[in-house]
Amino acid sequence: MTFLLENWLELTGFVSGLLCVWLLIKESVSTFPIGMLYALVTTIVVARAFLYADVLLNLYYVLMNAYGWYYWLYGAKSLRQDQGELRPQRIGASTVWVLLAITAVGTLLMGYLFQRYSQADLAYVDSLTTVASFVAMWMSARKFLASWIAWFLIDLVQIVLYIVKGLNGVEGLYLYAGLYGIYLLMAVWGWQSWRQRLQTP
């Protein structure tokens, strides 16, 4: 009972995070309000761990969940006319290169700023997962199949980051490392599910 009371934020993040991804896999628009709750809780958790890039990331998640909520309900009218609904989409090669460039430049810039002007730990690694997640969240909001590949790679790095922070004595992050381990498996499930939907006439 004491553990539950002391770690209610982490447990709330754990449950809402899993529910959010499960709803995303199922293509339910409810993923976005749940995602907003998860992002707000996680902002507090990572701020206590001095992972400032992750703080920015989760504040961004709040905004992107609002955008995704709107886009899934009202956006992409031409796609809705052709398909009758908003289905998973393939992403163009030129868009992929632009997103990779944004990730690289953003990681270097954010990592430099956090390393030089803050107490942030593992500034460049933390910045990589942050900027890449900026990109992946936008891809999810636009319902690109390749977003699941991006999430899989991000989850791998994030697991290592949280374990390292946990070994350094930061409380609450082992639970998040476990959560990202589950996310890793769910990313595979999500990719398979959306790929099947994309290929179904």
The sign one gets for the Cα dihedral 146, 148, 150, 153 is negative
pLDDT under 50: residue ranges of the chain: 1-6
pLDDT at 3: 42
- The tens digit of pLDDT for each residue in 3-55 reads 443 467 777 777 888 899 899 999 888 999 999 888 888 888 778 777 776 78
pLDDT at 5: 38
Q: Which domain holds residue 85?
A: 2-199
| Number of domain units in the chain | 1
pLDDT at 201: 62
